[in-house]
Chains A and B, each alone.
Chain A
Amino acid sequence: MFNIRDKGASVWESWSPPARSSFVLIVITLVALLPYAGNFGPTSFLDTPISSYQAVLVYPIALFVLMGLGLNIVVGKSGLLDLGYVAFFAIGAYTMGIMGTMTSLNTWQILPFGIFFAMLSGLLLGLPALRLRGDYLAIVTLGFGEIIRIVALNLSVTGGPNGIVGVPTPPAVLGQKFELDDHAGYFWVIFIMILLVIWMIRRFTIRRPGRAWEAIRQDEDVAALMGVNLLVYKLWSFTIGAAVGGAGGVIYASKTMFIAPDMFTFNTSILVLACIVFGGLGNIWGVIVGASILAYLPERIRFISNARQLVFGLVLLVIMNVRPDGLLPRKKREKIREKQAI
């Protein structure tokens, strides 16, 4: 099968460094201008039936790309199946919700707290859970995601089923205000976070943790024999993934100004997982493409309101049958000895 991922990589490798950096700059500029893409040509095409194109660009698309990249560290890079990723997103969102309404801290000051609490919970969950094998880990993480939602549903500090209303929006940065109807600012914030995460993943991949994750993904036993400390590196992968989810949650809560337990169901975890498997597991471009498509599609086809999830399921099913490794699969050379890996 024709592999766009390999083709792209070989073209990229043939370029000189200046060409590469200018290409990166152009791409970043173009993506940063995406909120205004609706201003050119037929705007109605990009708009979705109930929300404007700009709104959809921030949530779900940009946030799903962010979460997909975070989950990709856990599932794609180190092969740990996490079915409760929404838990970290929820922890970030509730950190923002509770601290934002009860203290005078603003979003940027709460962001580190959100990341910290998400990482802490990742650590606390990971310490027992990461000793387990693949499918057991899956059910434990799934359970964790449900537990976080049920706890949020039943505690008074989280507002129970009513959630938290009136989460403050972020204060202005460099003259860019953040208001309810102004989506561009949020998009740029999330875009910057996405770039940071991509940068982080790329750095990790070529260094010791990245190699350790790759080894763990391909074969845990061999990795352990080679001296990789399984638990430590799995914990790293898990907590870094959690941190990205938590950061996404903080921004999400601050943007929607309202959070409730319904927003953090198992379906979200599954959707994020579907994004990265659909796009192509373990590679950044695949995740971005997959998340963009799967986040945009259900919004775009809202006009068939009743059947939209059905169509979504059918599309997912057909694509998985046609391209089981996703749209942009992992590089060929990484595929060797992948029998046991996820």
Chain B
Amino acid sequence: MNLQVLESQFWSLCLQGVALGFIYVLISLGYTMVYGVLRLINFANSEVFMIGTFATVVAQVGILQNQTDSQSLHGFRLIYTLAFALVFSMVVCGILGILVELVAYRRLRALGAKPLGFLISAIATSIVLLETTRIVTFSRPQTSPRLLDKWSFGEVAGANFRIDTVMVIISGVIIFFVLDRFVTKTRLGKAIRAVSMSEENSKLMGINLNRVVSLTFFIGGLTTGAAAFFYTTVYETTQFNVGFNLGLAAFTTAVLGGIGNLRGAFYGGMFLGVLEQFASAILGSQWKSVTVFTVLVLVLLLKPNGIFGEAVQQTRT
């Protein structure tokens, strides 16, 4: 127990937690969107994230020809490189999301399988993705070049506003806001919400079910890809098994906020990120996940549908 950090690093831990929380939020949208529409836990999403981290490295090193030990970039070149890597990772993950749906879900949905069948098929897909990456990368960790010089805007109350932390938070807010608007305001978003309320009825209303499902997986992939980019930029390294822990945390995020509920996922991510930071500072990082799960069980005991509950139209009987 190290309670001193509560005084000395309180705001610093909060800031780190929020930044980490945004990464969790973005990944958890991949779970939550799919869950909202299909009522299924998309277990392959953690591997989509893993592929995204590699896609980021490929974009930076393979396509834009930066050396792994290259100097940090500045000006237009930096913005261009980062933007390209972000978009590349998002698109790769989005397309991968669609493929996962095609391979693991489409046929099972047509056959009317039970939820557990989907679960195993999604897990099989994630085994395939994980093992392929492992074999291709020879199980080696892959470092990403430090293209972004990590200067700090300065400290406020002990919290160090580093450029990457700020970038994650601002971009996270933007992506989340855009997605939230998309789902609540646009025609396609309305279709997604309609399917999540009732598959049968939305089919009767002329909604192309398969297209909406593909779209949902695509959007989930996009946000997961963005998270992968931010993760790689902040931590500068990735490995074939990076998906498991982050996927688990993101899944917890989704559940904490009420799975299927976009805004719930947002608060869930903030809560989880900050909690993790404090737990590892106070109890030591090995007890981080134990704390998280204990809190999760307590939260679910008091609020069985997550802190913010599932969106009303999505609650199952």
Contact = CB atoms under 8 A, between A and B. Distances in A.
A150 B132 contact: no
A208 to B, nearest CB: 25
A274 B119 CA distance: 9
A317 B116 contact: no
Interface in A306-342: 306-307, 309-310, 312-314, 316-317, 320-321, 324-326, 338, 341-342
Interface string A250-269: 00000000000000001000
Interface in A37-74: none
B124 A313 contact: yes
Interface of B is mostly: helix
Count class of interface residues, chain B: 35 or more
Given A154-B287, A325-B114, A131 B304 contact: yes
B158 interface: no
A150 B116 contact: no
Nearest to B301: A128
Interface in B255-285: 255, 259
B255 A324 contact: no
Given A133-B304, A153-B286, A324-B108, A316 B124 contact: yes
A81 interface: yes
Given A153-B286, A221-B317, A320-B121, A313 B128 contact: yes
Contacts of A274: 120, 123-124
Interface in A272-322: 273-274, 277-278, 281, 306-307, 309-310, 312-314, 316-317, 320-321
A317 B125 contact: yes
Given A306-B135, A324-B114, A143 B121 contact: no
Given A150-B286, A307-B131, A342-B114, A316 B120 contact: yes
Contact of B108 (A139, A146, A320): A320
A314 B123 contact: no
Interface string B300-317: 110010100000000011
Interface of A: 75, 81, 128-129, 131-136, 138-140, 142-144, 146-147, 150-151, 153-154, 221, 266, 270, 273-274, 277-278, 281, 306-307, 309-310, 312-314, 316-317, 320-321, 324-326, 338, 341-342
A265 B297 CA distance: 20
B113 interface: yes
B252 A139 contact: yes
B125 A313 contact: yes
Nearest to B252: A139
B293 A143 contact: yes
A290 to B, nearest CB: 10
B131 A317 contact: no
Nearest to A275: B120
Interface in B105-120: 107-108, 111, 113-117, 119-120
Nearest to A139: B255
B114 A270 contact: no
A276 B246 CA distance: 27
Contacts of A277: 116-117, 119-120
A140 B113 contact: no
Given A139-B255, A144-B293, A132 B300 contact: yes
B287 A150 contact: yes
Given A132-B304, A306-B135, A320-B121, A266 B244 contact: yes
A131 B116 CA distance: 20
Contacts of B248: 142, 146
B41 interface: yes
B290 A147 contact: yes
Contact of B41 (A135, A151, A270, A326): A135
- Which 3 interchain pairs have the tightest Cβ spacing? A313-B127, A324-B113, A143-B293
B202 interface: no
28 contacts: A128-B297, A131-B304, A133-B304, A133-B316, A139-B252, A143-B292, A143-B296, A146-B248, A147-B293, A150-B287, A150-B289, A221-B317, A266-B244, A273-B120, A274-B124, A277-B116, A307-B131, A309-B130, A313-B130, A314-B124, A316-B120, A316-B121, A316-B124, A316-B127, A321-B108, A324-B114, A325-B114, A325-B117
